[in-house]
Every structure is written in C-alpha cells, then in structure tokens.
Amino acid sequence: MMNRNMFVAMAVLAFLGIGVSASANLLINGDFEDGDTGQLGVVAIPGWNSWGDAGWHNDDAGCVMDTKGMKFWWDSAGMWQDFAAVPGTTYIYSVQVMDASRDTSANNWDFQIEAEFYDVADTQLAAVALGYFDSSIQPDDTWVQIGDSIVAPAGTAYGRVVLRLWDWQEGIGGALYFDNASVVPEPATLAMLTFGGLLLRRRK
C-alpha cells in the first residue's frame, strides 16, 4: 500500500507534469535507433556491448518498432549494458521480441532477458532470468513484451541487462527480432527520488 509520503510525491509529480515512464529508461539507445546497421561485431551499437557475430543491427521493414532494431540467429551472440543502480531499489526490465514468419523454422530459437547486479569490486551479486519468449507458443509477426521487476541487492553499485537467444535443441534454426529494451526504476521509487531532488533544489 502506498504511504502518505509516496502519495504526496506522486501527486506533486503529476501536478508538475513530470513523467515516470519512457523518459526514465536507464539504458542508452534502448530502442537501437542510433548507430549504423550491419553485423554484430562489425558495427558499433552506441550504448551496448556485445559478444559473437550472429546478430544484425537491422532496419528490415516489418521487423522493427521504429526504424531500427536487432536480430539474432544463433546463441553464440548476445548483448549487454550496465547502468548505475541503488541497493534496495526495484528495477523493471523489459524488451519487445518478435518471431517473424519470413525468418522462422519448425524448431525456432527462444529468447531471454536477464538481470545482473555487481558491487564496486565488480563481484557479481545476482544473476536472474526475468523474462522468456517461447517461440513455440507465441504467434508469428507479433511483438511480445517480456520482463519483470527485481530489487537490487545490498552492496549493489551497478546493474546489467543481458539479451540473448536461449534453449538450443536438435534441428533448431531461424531467427528472432527484438527492440525497445528498457530498465526503469519502479514508478513509486522514481517518484520519491524525483521528489527528493525537488525538495533539495527548493532548500537551496
């Protein structure tokens, strides 16, 4: 249940017209709109790190949500991005995934979004799969949002989002498209952080 201080913070934000959704995305280039199109490992995608080359920064018609997105066709490739995180804060991870009918097979790949947290010594504190796209049950040519929320553990200095194909099986093939990745502080948490900043500015 929302306490009085949280309610006041949300009310102030609403009154001031301060949004707590898209603008709160902690990821750089989460929509993959920046950077040249091309094969993973050959072109640099601003904000993102990657491994492997079985991926493509693409602008294929019908396979992006805006003008650019990503495509993986083997689990030898993946992407990740780090962000500053606060212990005890809840973060909502999400990404849109699509199995295109023109790029599918009888036994297609699945897709996973993962959350990781590290301390100042780069020691991993947690690693959790937060969302799973099962290509055997999802309809073709339909964007599906996957993800979940997670609380940063004690000692956290930064968090990480990891995007990858998953669940290799005999005869697997095809590819999956993904777009609009985000990590957002829980709206109530963001409201308190913003409200606190407003109070500090007012006291100055």
* Full-model pTM: 0.81
Cα 181 to Cα 147: distance, rounded to the nearest angstrom = 10
Would the pLDDT of 163 be above 90? yes
Token look-up 């957002």 returns 184
Give the sheet arrangement for strand 78-84, strand by strand.
49-51, 78-84, 158-166, 110-118, 124-133
Domains of the chain: 4-203 (2.60.120.260)
Please enumerate in sequence order all residues whose Cβ is within 8 A of that of 91, keeping only pairs 6 or more positions apart, or say none.
26, 85, 115, 149, 150, 151, 152, 159, 183, 184, 185, 186
Q: What angle do CA 189, 191, 197 make, to 5 degrees?
A: 110
pLDDT band at 104 (very low <50, low <70, confident <90, very high): confident
Tokens (6 digits) for 93: 């991870």
Confidence of residue 198 (pLDDT cuts 50, 70, 90): very low
Pairing state between β 110-118 and 69-72: unpaired
Task: State pLDDT tens for residues 106-145.
Answer: 668 999 999 999 999 999 999 999 999 999 899 999 999 9
Check if the beta carbon of residue 100 is closer than 8 Å to that of residue 73. no
- pLDDT at residue number 106: 67
**DSSP 8-state assignment for residue 73:** -
pLDDT digits (tens, 9 = 90+) for 25-43: 999 999 999 999 999 999 9
pLDDT confidence of 21, banded at 50, 70, 90? very low
Residues 7-19, mean pLDDT to the nearest whole number: 42
